[in-house]
Every structure is written in structure tokens, then in C-alpha cells.
Structure 1
Amino acid sequence: MPSRLPSPRRLLLTLLAAIAPLAMAQDYPSKPVKLIVPFPPGGSVDLVARLLGKSLQEQLRQPFIVDNKPGASGNIGAEFVAKSPADGYTLLVGSAGVFAANQHLYAKPPFDPEKAFAPIMRIVDQPNVLVVPPDSPARSVQDLIALAKAQPGKVSFGTASVGSAQHFSTEIFMQQAGIQMLHVPYKGGAPALSDLMGGQIDMVFDTSPTAVPFVKSGKLRALAVTSAQRSPLLPDVPTMREAGLPNFEVVTWTGIAAPAGTPPAVVGALNAAIKKALGGELGRQLAETSLIPVGDTPQAFKAFIHQDAQNYARLVKSANITPQ
């Protein structure tokens, strides 16, 4: 019995379906691209997005517009991207909290980040800086620990949100130092820093790009950095290990993703463009603010998110954080 061959029309449709994503990638971008930042302006994620948008606009000849959509620890902006068309024109520039931690902090999370997004790249790693007001009685990490032990639950710390990198840095600090402090969550890192400088709260583990200028201007005092090595921008500031906590090292990160279902060719084109930018002026600009360019592949970033999510799950449990 002779085999049945596909009709010419079916062959044409199959061919068109196969080449459509490639053609889309070749034409991409053909209109403005939105970079959704799920936090207020002024924080480190916002800084990365704005530098990245400027670089991609120059390289790809289309506007890359930063759109801040803060709230719910980053979930509002992230959910907006998750529900956007999977065409590469609405992207999420987010933190470890959005991509890895929040799913363990909410009893009914609005989306599963490992299913809702197509990872593009982990853009940068960054240490945090433990900062206090310039008139704080704490002039060292050990001073701060002594204050907290003398007033259990009274010394306050600010964070960008519940489950943010600042929050988890402080939870690790409290566990290793054997202290308990009062958590004051904000809707972003910038308002937390504002209240810190105003004396409304006592300390913040802030991201280095936003903390360093205030430290250099004398508006804040840096007690330690959370990386394994000292920051070249703050060479006189010890690491947390040097300050008496030998097991303390926390480095957070910022990455970019598209809605799930975005054509792999578009994801690949974006990854290649960002990698090229990191190898040039963008990489230098980020390094000047103490950010460490990464530039991994979509596959590596996906695996990294999965591993970090497991790490956060263990930390949420050990810190006895109750999902909201």
C-alpha cells in the first residue's frame, strides 16, 4: 500500500511554522520594548534596568523603556509581565526575591516564577553593605550586636520588602549573631534608606550601588560588606567575616526574563545583545557601582533560579517566616 505523503499545503504550513520564530528574531525589536521593574525608582534593580535599557537602545535601535510597577514585594510588576504577550516586548528586570524567594513567602502566590517566565540572563551579582545613620552609637558590627542584645526586639532594621535580599541578609545576621531585631518592611530600598538617614530605623543591609554614594558623602556609616572580599569602592570597610561572623557571606543578584512561551530565538537574541553590552561600556558602568557582571546563558540562569529557590525555601523555614 503506497504511503500517504503530506499535501503541499500542509508542507508549506509546517515550513512557515518552523521559520516564523527565526524571522521574528531577525526583525526583533521592531518597536519599543518595556523593561518592567517591580520596585520603585532609586534602588539597585532600577539602576541596572536603566543602564541596561540605555545600552540596548543604542545597540538595537529601538527604545527600551523602564516602567516601575512596585508593590507586594515585587509580585505586582512580575505578575504583569507573566500575563503579557510572549513576544519579547515586555520584559522583567527583577531580583532574587521576585524570581526565587516570593513563592515561599506567600500562602497563595499569584504565579510560579519557574513556570511563568522564560529566563534570559542573570545580569549581575552584588554584595550588600550594612549601613547605619552617621550618629548611630554602633561604630562596628560588634557594637551593633551588643546594642541588639541589650535591647532584644528594639533595634530596628529596614528592608525593601518582606523576603527581599535585605530581609534575608538580616535574618542570617540575626541567626549567626544570636540576636533579635524589629523588622520594618518598605516598598523598595530607596524609602528604607530615606528613613534610615532620617533616624526612623537603626540599620539596613542595603545593596552596594545605592549605599556606597551615601557612605562616601557621609550621610551613612558602613559597618561591613556581605561579600567574601572587601569592596574596591569601600576598601576600609571590613567584610562580615572580618567583623566577627566567619560564616557570613551573602551576594544577591539581578536578572532579566520574558513571559513563558517567548520564542527561543527572541530569548537568544536578547541574551546575545546583553552579553555584548556587558562586554563593553555597560559592564564598566556596572563595575563602577560595585556590581559584578555575570552574563550567563538562558539555560544556566534557569538552573540557577531553581537552585536559589530551594535555598530560599530552607531559609524561610529556618527563620520561621510564616507565608502571608
Structure 2
Amino acid sequence: MLHRLIAMGMALAASCALAQGYPDKPVRLVVPFPPGGSVDLVARLVGKSLQDALQQPFVVDNKPGASGNIGAAYVAKAPADGYTLLVGSAGVFAANQFLYANPPLDPLTAFAPIMRIVDQPNILVVGNASPARTVRELIALAKAQPGKITFGTASVGSAQHFSTEIFMQQAGIELLHVPYKGGAPALVDLMGGQIDMLFDTSPTALPYAKSGKLRALAITSRQRSPLLPDVPTMREAGLPDFEVMTWTGIAAPAGTPPAVVEKLNAAIKAALQGPLRRQLEETSLIPVGDSPQAFGAFMRQDAEHYARLVRSAHITPQ
């Protein structure tokens, strides 16, 4: 017992010593999606704040593919020293494990949670040429053409995908799924008329909706966004049980010293009390800033939520 206590004390001392000098070289923030999406935006804003606070470069490294699994697996296999971090979505941290017959990792054991940074709603958008000007009209179009109205997503199992699956269930309609490699190309095709509709994360869809390049029919949050005050919630639009929020978090490889995790958490939490909060809120993101322990518990809870969604939507693992 004495030897064990001594070993534990030495490990704790080593962890604290490492954290005191951390970081002493550039830190890589891996984003498992292409540039231009909401996760990429959060990573770049948070990275700039961490760079200012900790006086080392925090470099965003986009590693897209397989609905985020490629980038996530890269981080999971990286040295657990705090110099390779994952900024990911609910799909990466909770849903993907239920969407693949042979998932490359279990996020609950592969990562050391640092923080759930933001929550965010999705926005239901259609092209300006669409005859649907309301959610009710879109539902009517879909019922008149079962399986013909197309919807885009950033990938299979993305927040956009689950929002649309819930939409189909609650509205009693059938839509045709067109998955993309990232949200940006889906938006381009929506504007070009190649697809009919899209639930997209609010930071990505917001500029297109505000500029009039796309028509926003509803937002998936409980309340309207002050940035789109004329756009109703899905509840107001006729689906009283519809509320979907997704999120973005940051984690390190499992085994990263707790003192390093706490140092990163404290630095982001401090940044969220300053200009970073305003920068996030200006894109309709909702800052969270929870503890590593709370984020870990939330990941477990959300994994259970997505497991139920996958079963109820009859999604077959790939």
C-alpha cells in the first residue's frame, strides 16, 4: 500500500510539473471535417484565444473523412501529452460509434474530455427557387412526392442527418438523403438547386439566410434566435415536439495528464469570459464552458441519446 501511495504521489507530481511548463511548443487542433464548417470555426476562434493565453501557436489541422472518424482516430493514437487535441462534434464524440459496423474507436474510452465549448441549433433552409415558404408547405410537398424531395447533409450521422431523421419521423414524410463530404458543398448545391432542403448548423447557414441567398424556414432551438428574429422555431412552425441542439467539444487522447487537461479547460473558460464569447454568440453559437468531468458525463448521456435515435430511425450501420 505504501509503495502504491508513493507511486501515485510521484505520478501526480510529474503531472503537475508537466502542466507548469505546458505548452512549450506548438499544439495541433485536429478538426475531423473540411474547412468552412461550424466545428472548424469554433476550433479557429478557440485556437486564437489559447494562443494568446498560453503563448504558443495552436494550429488547426483539418483531417476530414468517414464522418469525422479519420481525424478522431488520428488523435486517439497520438501521444497523450497535450500537443494533439481533437475539436469535434456530437457525431464524433457520441453518434458515430452507432453508425459503423466496425467503429474505429469508442470515444468514451479513447479520449480525455476537456470541455464542451458550445451548443448550437440547426436551421432548416431551402433554395430561393423552392415553392415552400413555410415548414407546413415543405411537408405538404414531401407528402405529395414521397421519397422525391432531397435533403443534403455534411455526412452520414451528422447533426444535419439526425435533425432530418427526426423531422421525417415527426412530420410523417419520406425524403431522399444526399450525403456530402462537409456542409459547405451541400450549401453550394442547395443554392444551385441540386438538392431541395438542408438542416445546417446555425453558424454555417446564418450568413446565407441573412443575405437572402437561401430561405430559412425554421430554427431547431426552443426559442427564436435574436440574429434571425423573423424565423420561427420548429415548434412554432407546426411540430410541437421538435427541438434539436448539437454541440462542439474539445478532448485529448486518453491518458493525457489531468493537470494538462485542467490547464486547457481553465484557459478556455477564461477566454469565454472575454471577446471569445461575443465572437461565438455573433454566429449564433451558445457558449457552455463546462468542466472535464461534466463534459465526460454529458458525452455518456448523449451517446445513449444517439443510440436511441439510430434505433428509432432504423439506420443500418455501415
Scaled to the shorter chain, the TM-score interval is: over 0.9
User: Is 1:315 the counterpart of 2:309 in the alignment?
Assistant: yes
Secondary structure of the residue aligned to 1:303 is helix
Per-residue deviation, 1:11: 10
**CA separation in 1, counterparts of 2:213 and 2:124?**
14
The aligned counterpart of 1:165 is: 159
Q: How many residues align?
A: 317
Per-residue deviation, 1:17: 3.5
The aligned counterpart of 1:209 is: 203
- Picking from 61, 73, 80, the partner of 2:74 is 80
- Picking from 146, 150, 153, the partner of 1:152 is 146
Q: Structure 2 regions of 5+ residues with no counterpart?
A: none
Per-residue deviation, 1:18: 3.4
The aligned counterpart of 1:222 is: 216
**CA separation in 2, counterparts of 1:14 and 1:86?**
18
User: Is 1:272 the counterpart of 2:270 in the alignment?
Assistant: no
- State the one-letter code of the partner of 1:198: G
**CA separation in 2, counterparts of 1:13 and 1:188?**
46
**CA separation in 1, counterparts of 2:180 and 2:8?**
51
Residues 12, 143 of structure 1: CA spacing in aligned structure 2 closer, same or farther, 3 A cutoff? closer
Secondary structure of the residue aligned to 1:50 is helix
Q: Which runs of 4+ in 1 moved over 3 A?
A: 10-18
Secondary structure of the residue aligned to 2:199 is strand
Structure 1 length normalisation: TM-score? 0.96
The aligned counterpart of 1:298 is: 292
| C-alpha RMSD over aligned residues | 1.5
Q: Deviations over 1:157-207 (max 9, x none)?
A: 000111111000000000000000000011111111111111110111001
- Picking from 248, 251, 259, the partner of 2:253 is 259
Aligned-residue identity in percent: 80
Q: Structure 1 regions of 5+ residues with no counterpart?
A: none
Q: Deviations over 1:246-304 (max 9, x none)?
A: 00000100000000000000000000000001111111100111000000000100010
Structure 2 length normalisation: TM-score? 0.97
**CA separation in 2, counterparts of 1:237 and 1:272?**
36
**CA separation in 1, counterparts of 2:160 and 2:278?**
25
- State the one-letter code of the partner of 1:144: L
Q: How does 1:57-76 map to 2 (within 5 A)?
A: 57-76=51-70
Structure with larger Rg: 1
Secondary structure of the residue aligned to 1:115 is helix
